[in-house]
Structure formats: C-alpha cells, structure tokens
C-alpha cells in the first residue's frame, strides 16, 4: 500500500534517534511509573546536526543542595567531529540561564532556539573539541515544564522525613539539568561528576568517589569519576543527609570483592529497617555474575542512593531507589547488565532493558526463593492477558506511556524471555548465549533483532517464527485438548485459537501437557505445535485418570480452553496398523532396546526426560536397535519423528 511506503521511513526515524523529550517520573519497577506523552524538543534537522559529532566525555561541576533543584556550575561536552564542522548543536532546557560558553577554552557566542543551543566550532573530521557551558537556574518540575517532564526533583520522604534532590533522566530529561546530546547510540566513553553541597549532606553519583574535599563556608565537594561508556540518561546526582553503609559481594571467579556503596537517609531508624534487605544485594550480584557474566563495573562499585520514589532507576553503578524489596532491588541491579552495559539501541527496543531486568526478578526467585517463582510468573501471565493485544516491540517511540507499559514492556517482555528459554530447551546453552551476548555487545547498544540474530547463530535454531509471533506479533493462544484412550495408548488432539487472530493467527511454539496416571507418577510430555490443530499418539503411557494439565510450569503465555475426552478421536491407532504395532522391547530396559515395527517413514528420534528436556536427538537406524547405556535409571519420553512431521511417542523405563 502507498501508506506503508510513506510510513516506513518515519517509523525508522522514530526508532533510530532519541528525540529530546521529557520524562514524567521514575523508571524500572513496572507498577511505579507515571506516564505522559510529550513532543520532541528538537526537530529532525536539529537532531541531524547532533549526529555530526561523537560524545567522548561528560564533565559536570555543579553546586546543589538537598532543599531545592536550583543549581549552578559548568557542564562540559568533550567530543570528536565525525565530519568537518563549523558549528555544533546540543540541548539545554530553555529556562536555564547560560552565562558563558567556551569552545576549546575560548569564549564564543551562541544561538538558542528553545532548548537547542548552537555554538561555532572549527573542527576537521576526527578532530576533538570541548564545549564548556557555565549555567544556572532551576530545572523544570512536572508542573512548571510545559512538556510535563522533570529531570530533577526536590521532595521529602513521606516515611522518613529526609529532604532529597535527585535526577532522573530516562528517557529524555537529561537536558533539563545538564548540556548534552540525547542519543542512545552515542555513549560517552566516561564521565566525571563533581557536586558541591552543604557539609551536612552527601552527594552520590556514578563510578568511584575519588575525593571528598571541604572547601569552607560550610560546603563540601564530592568528586566522582566513572571510567566506562555510559548513556546520557544514566548519568545521575543525588543529594541528601545520608549515612554511608557499605557491604561487599564475593562472586565466584571475581578478581576482587565488589563494593556495594549505599547512601541511606540519616534518620536513625532507616538503616536498621532496610539493612537486611540491602545486604541481600550481595547475593543478587553473585547470582547474576554466574548467570550473565562478570558484573560490568566490578573495578568500580555498585550502590544505591535513597530518594522518595516508589520504585527505582538504574543509574549506572548507583541506582536511585526508594526502598529495598527484593524484586525491586534485583530488577535494578540486573539493569547493570541489561540496560547499562548493553543498552537498547532505540526506545522501540526497550525490551533489551526492561524485559530482561523483569525476567531477572523471576530468576532471582527461582534460584534464591524456590517456590515463589511459579506464582510470580502466573501473575506476569495474568497481567499480559488482561487485554487481548499489544506487541513487545514499541511502534511509537515518542509515546512514553507505551515505552514503559507495565503490561507489554515489563510483563510480556519478561514472559517471552521465559518462553524463549523453553524454546531453546537447554539451560546451559540459553545462559551461555546470554553471557556471550553481554560480551559481544558490552559498552554498546542492541536492538531486539540484534539479540535474535545473535541467539540464532549461538544456538543454531531458527528463531524467526518465535520473534514474529511473540516479539513483533500480538496476543496469546488459548489451548484446548481432546483425548481418547485405547489400552495403554492415548490419542491426543491439541488445538488453539489466538486473541489477536488478525495479527498473529497461529503460535508455533512447543507446549507441555501433564498427564495424571493411575498407579504411576505424573508425567509431562512436550508437544511440537505447527498449526492450529495437531494430533499425536502416545504409546505405553498407562491409564489416564482424565486429568490433563496444559503448560503446568507456565512456560507460555496462554489461557486454557476445554479438556475433553472424545471417544471418536482416533489418531495413529486403528488408521495405521504399522504405527499401532510399534513396540519397544524390552521395557523396562537396561539401556539397550529394539523398536519393533518401526514405521518406514521414521526419520529421527528424541529422548526427553520427564521435565521435557532433550537428552538425545539422532537419526533412526534401519535395524531399530538403540543403545542408550549412558542414560541414568528413570522414566523417559521416546519420540519417533516421521518424515511428515508427526511424532509417535512412548514411555520407556531404564532400569540397570
């Protein structure tokens, strides 16, 4: 259609450039964000001007208090020209007063249109230059900003009484308090933040606290330096009457203990109230170090600055956080890998940040609080299915409420990673892939497609259908099961409808069924689904009680339709004598067995354990003789795959 031809370049632009917008409130915990939709502060031409240089270093030297957001000082942009330049454009909120700008140490004039500031720069391609901006004023609040954002806030904790001033720049509010270029794909190589505050306060920021210097007149200067690439919105400051409380994590394989530096309200009751929860941060670091690879900033620190927000924001190396409930703390910490080390390349792909941080909550529960992860994932699925549609991928990257949708970005984003883990069906391979991805994209940005392509190459699987249906697609399946038993054999029909059939008519992921059997242990069998209705035969399963569970471990976002016994269902039994007579002998077996009456169109076979994990996949031999002496004692699922794609499944018991 002609409309698609017109729309695609615009949509590509939306997802390729970080527009100058303002954020409503804080990020990270999905239930605790206020959303507003705002327009860009830069037009397309102005954005193009900012793309003519690369930022290498931000240096901030600011005077602040914990009472007011009013600030004064100097913000410097160290950059490298990508082409010959006669000018450079950056952003600074229009109501902040500029007193002087210097380029390479020389005072220069400038032009200013709203928040776009343009200065003369005489630089050849690949030449470095420095812009220093002396400025002062009061950053906007959500009430005073006509765009509704607030990159810096002053408030008192309603619980503890402490007054705090803190920044929160995600997604588009950094320019409200310091001069910058708001582009996700242009990470600064490093940053330095110096904050002069009253002696009664402390100031927290990114990286290492290099100096604390009393400068007289009741003022103290805090000098922070961060020596890793960092995106504009992850630079932060927080000022309050804090006490410092430090603990250390000791991950296996780490060269040194990792400092966890915490700035906690100086109210004498605050630290005792949160101390045990703060201490758990060490356990979370040690877990994610194992799952995702080394903590990306282990040569510096991790930490927290308290602020009266009902959630948290993953500022690099020092999260701003309102409290320390375990799923919140683990979520924000996980962002140091997913969001900070590897950052979404566009707000359309915020899943790279929030989907993985949200799934990290599940992994924390699975590993450290076993038993809590099941209800947690059920709650995630219920949230997603509160509405019929919506994709994880964000079509409108200027719609802040959509970028940070709790249902789609956080919950569905988390749920489909759980499903992807199931699809890969090999936890060793899955987590090796995540660790390798962190290495391949460290200090950089990535899209959802980049992640898909990487995991395809790493696992050897075709993940295109999965991403088309679950990442770009909409909705979820509702599964129904029919069954019929003949002797010890069972015919199964699995069908599904979808909640957004006009967008995603079919989901082709596998699905587990749990069978309750008389006199035998329950068993879970995994079925490969390629269409809306599939039929299967299971041999030697025993006598079913009629109780069948669909997706009992919540791997797939789905609803359950009907489960019915259908005496007319006849799959692969009477209609195919050859398949009906397929028989494993001996069963139980010591590991060597023969499949008698192997179908002539048998192509390969699979051995799965009762959790549905693949143990072995290989071609069928003409003789029908199998030697699986390495299998431990237990019950396994033996599936023969026919050339037409059907699976013929039987249970086999190994007893040595």
Predicted confidence (pLDDT) per residue in 363-397, tens digit: 999 999 999 999 999 999 999 999 999 999 999 88
Residue with the two structure tokens 């069954």:
483
Give the predicted TM-score (pTM) of the model.
Answer: 0.86
306 forms beta bridges with 321
- Cβ proximity of 631 and 620 under 8 Å: no
Q: How confident is the model at residue 31 (pLDDT cuts 50, 70, 90)?
A: very low
High-pLDDT (> 90) share of the chain, %: 74
Q: How confident is the model at residue 149 (pLDDT cuts 50, 70, 90)?
A: low
DSSP structure class, residue 406? I
pLDDT the model gives residue 638: 83
Q: 477-565 and 577-654: same fold?
A: yes
Span 67-96, average pLDDT = 98
| DSSP-assigned letters across all residues of 219-287 | EEEEEEEE-S-B-GGG---EEESEEEEEEEE--TT-SSPEEEEEEEES-TTHHHHHHHHHHHHHHHHHH
- What is the rounded CA–CA span in Å between residue 210 and residue 226? 10
Q: Quote the tokens at residue 637.
A: 């699922």
* Residue 636, H or E segment: strand 634-642
Q: How confident is the model at residue 647 (pLDDT cuts 50, 70, 90)?
A: low
- 246 or 569: whose pLDDT is higher? 246
Closest CA to 242 of 274, 284, 207: 274
CA 539 to chain centre: 41
High-pLDDT (> 70) share of the chain, %: 88
| DSSP-assigned letters across all residues of 543-586 | -EEEEEEESTT--S--EEEEEEE-TT--SSSTT-HHHHT-EEES
pLDDT the model gives residue 161: 97
Q: Pairing mode, if any, of strands 634-642 and 477-486?
A: unpaired
Q: Interior CA angle at 606 toward 603 and 612, to 5°? A: 145
pLDDT the model gives residue 417: 99
Task: Give the start-to-end residue ranges of the domains of the chain.
Answer: 2-376, 477-565, 577-654
Which range is least confidently modeled, 1-5, 258-262, 417-421, 489-493? Answer: 1-5
Q: Quote the tokens at residue 461.
A: 């699987």
* Residue 399, H or E segment: none
Residue 487, pLDDT above cutoff 60? yes
pLDDT the model gives residue 12: 35
Closest CA to 267 of 365, 160, 402, 112: 160
Span 488-500, average pLDDT = 95
Predicted confidence (pLDDT) per residue in 191-228, tens digit: 999 999 999 999 999 999 999 999 999 999 999 999 99
- At the top level of CATH, which class does the domain 477-565 belong to? mainly beta
Residue 473, phi then psi, degrees to nearest 5: -75, 180
Predicted confidence (pLDDT) per residue in 32-51, tens digit: 333 323 335 899 999 999 99
**Cα pseudo-dihedral 588, 592, 596, 602, rounded to 10:** 120
Predicted confidence (pLDDT) per residue in 520-535, tens digit: 889 999 998 999 999 9
- What is the rounded CA–CA span in Å between residue 656 and residue 651? 16
* Residue 381, H or E segment: helix 373-384
Residue 22, phi then psi, degrees to nearest 5: -115, 145
118 forms beta bridges with 89, 111
Which range is least confidently modeled, 7-11, 73-77, 634-638? Answer: 7-11
pLDDT the model gives residue 488: 87
Q: Quote the tokens at residue 213.
A: 């210097």
Task: Determine how many CB atoms are found less than 10 A away from the CB of residue 493.
Answer: 17
Residue 611, phi then psi, degrees to nearest 5: -85, 0
Q: Quote the tokens at residue 367.
A: 């590993």
- What is the rounded CA–CA span in Å between residue 649 and residue 541? 9
Q: How confident is the model at residue 573 (pLDDT cuts 50, 70, 90)?
A: very low
pLDDT the model gives residue 17: 35
Residue 545, phi then psi, degrees to nearest 5: -85, -10
- Cβ proximity of 196 and 66 under 8 Å: no
pLDDT the model gives residue 4: 31
pLDDT the model gives residue 623: 63
Closest CA to 450 of 351, 358, 360, 362: 351
- At the top level of CATH, which class does the domain 577-654 belong to? mainly beta
CATH number of 2-376: 2.60.40.1730
Residue 7, pLDDT above cutoff 60? no
Residue 606, pLDDT above cutoff 70? yes
Closest CA to 576 of 542, 526, 535, 611: 535
DSSP structure class, residue 632? P
pLDDT the model gives residue 644: 66
116 forms beta bridges with 91, 113
Q: How confident is the model at residue 581 (pLDDT cuts 50, 70, 90)?
A: low
Task: Determine how many CB atoms are found less than 10 A away from the CB of residue 216.
Answer: 7
The length of the chain in residues reads: 656
- Cβ proximity of 347 and 397 under 8 Å: yes
DSSP structure class, residue 8? H
Which range is least confidently modeled, 384-388, 555-559, 599-603? Answer: 599-603
pLDDT the model gives residue 1: 29
Q: Interior CA angle at 464 toward 463 and 468, to 5°? A: 120
Residue 438, phi then psi, degrees to nearest 5: -60, -35
- What is the rounded CA–CA span in Å between residue 441 and residue 583? 50
pLDDT the model gives residue 143: 61
pLDDT the model gives residue 469: 98
- What is the rounded CA–CA span in Å between residue 287 and residue 302? 14
Predicted confidence (pLDDT) per residue in 66-81, tens digit: 999 999 999 999 999 9
* Residue 103, H or E segment: strand 97-103
Per the prediction, the chain carries an average pLDDT of 89
Task: Determine how many CB atoms are found less than 10 A away from the CB of residue 480.
Answer: 18
CA 80 to chain centre: 31
- What is the rounded CA–CA span in Å between residue 632 and residue 655? 8
Highest mean pLDDT among 444-453, 485-494, 520-529: 444-453
pLDDT the model gives residue 577: 38
Half-sphere exposure of 199 (CA within 13 A, CB side): 6
Q: Quote the tokens at residue 434.
A: 């995540």
Q: Interior CA angle at 63 toward 89 and 191, to 5°? A: 50
Span 627-651, average pLDDT = 77
Task: Determine how many CB atoms are found less than 10 A away from the CB of residue 645.
Answer: 11
Span 612-634, average pLDDT = 73
- What is the rounded CA–CA span in Å between residue 177 and residue 237? 10
- Cβ proximity of 350 and 404 under 8 Å: yes
- What is the rounded CA–CA span in Å between residue 655 and residue 383? 44
Span 471-480, average pLDDT = 98
């Amino acid at each position: 259609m002609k409309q698609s031809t017109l729309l695609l370049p615009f949509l590509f632009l939306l997802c390729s450039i970080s527009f100058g917008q303002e954020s409503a409130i804080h990020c990270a915990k999905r239930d605790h964000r206020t959303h507003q939709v705002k327009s860009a502060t830069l037009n397309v031409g102005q954005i193009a001007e900012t793309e003519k240089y690369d930022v290498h270093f931000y240096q901030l030297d600011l005077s602040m208090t914990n009472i007011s957001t009013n600030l004064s000082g100097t913000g410097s942009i160290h950059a490298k020209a990508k082409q010959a330049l006669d000018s450079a454009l950056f952003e600074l909120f229009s109501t902040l007063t500029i007193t002087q700008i210097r380029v390479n140490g020389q005072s220069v004039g400038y032009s200013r249109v709203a928040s776009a500031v343009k200065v003369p720069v005489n630089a050849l391609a690949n030449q470095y230059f420095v812009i220093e901006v002396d400025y002062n004023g009061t950053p906007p609040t959500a009430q005073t900003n006509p765009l509704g954002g607030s990159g810096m806030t002053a408030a008192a904790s309603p619980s503890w009484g402490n007054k705090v001033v803190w920044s929160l720049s995600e997604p588009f509010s950094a320019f409200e308090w310091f001069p910058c270029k708001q582009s996700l794909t242009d990470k600064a190589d490093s940053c330095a933040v110096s904050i002069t505050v009253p002696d009664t306060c402390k100031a927290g920021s990114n990286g290492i606290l290099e100096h604390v210097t009393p400068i007289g007149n009741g003022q103290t200067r805090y000098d922070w330096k961060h020596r890793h690439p960092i995106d504009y919105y992850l630079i932060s400051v927080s000022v309050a009457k804090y006490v410092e409380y430090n603990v250390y994590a000791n991950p296996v394989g780490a060269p040194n203990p990792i400092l966890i530096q915490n700035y906690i309200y100086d109210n004498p009751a605050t630290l005792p109230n949160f101390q045990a929860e703060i201490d758990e941060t060490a356990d979370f670091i040690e877990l994610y170090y194992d799952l995702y690879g080394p903590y990306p900033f282990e040569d510096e620190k991790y930490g927290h600055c308290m602020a009266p927000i009902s959630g948290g924001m993953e500022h690099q190396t020092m999260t701003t956080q309102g409290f320390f409930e375990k799923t919140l703390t683990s979520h924000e910490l996980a962002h140091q890998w997913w969001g900070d080390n590897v950052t979404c390349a566009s707000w359309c792909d915020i899943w790279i940040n929030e989907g993985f941080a949200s799934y990290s909550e599940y992994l924390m529960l699975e590993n450290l609080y076993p038993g809590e992860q099941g209800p947690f994932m059920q709650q995630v699925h219920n949230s997603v299915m509160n509405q019929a549609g919506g994709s994880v991928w964000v079509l409108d990257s200027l719609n802040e409420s959509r970028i940070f949708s709790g249902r789609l970005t956080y919950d569905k984003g988390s749920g489909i990673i759980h499903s992807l883990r199931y699809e890969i069906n090999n936890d060793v391979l899955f987590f090796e892939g995540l660790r390798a991805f962190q290495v391949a994209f460290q200090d950089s940005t990535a899209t959802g497609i980049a992640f898909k392509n990487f995991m395809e190459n790493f696992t050897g699987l075709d993940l295109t259908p999965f991403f088309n249906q679950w990442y770009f697609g909409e909705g979820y399946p509702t599964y129904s099961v029919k069954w019929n038993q003949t002797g010890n054999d069972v015919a199964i029909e699995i069908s599904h409808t979808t909640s957004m059939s006009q967008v995603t008519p079919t989901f082709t992921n596998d699905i587990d069924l749990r069978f309750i059997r008389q006199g035998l242990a329950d068993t879970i069998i995994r079925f490969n689904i390629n269409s809306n209705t599939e039929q299967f035969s299971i041999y030697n399963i025993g006598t079913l009680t009629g109780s069948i569970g669909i997706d009992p471990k919540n791997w797939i976002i789905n609803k359950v339709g009907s489960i019915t016994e259908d005496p007319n269902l006849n799959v692969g039994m009477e209609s195919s004598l050859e398949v009906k007579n397929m028989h494993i002998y001996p069963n139980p077996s010591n590991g060597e067995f023969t499949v008698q009456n192997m179908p002539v169109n048998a192509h390969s076979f699979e051995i799965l354990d009762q959790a549905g994990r693949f143990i072995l996949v290989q071609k069928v031999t003409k003789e029908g003789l199998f030697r699986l002496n390495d299998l431990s004692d237990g019950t396994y699922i033996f599936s023969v795959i026919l050339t037409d794609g059907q699976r013929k499944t039987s249970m086999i018991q190994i007893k040595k």
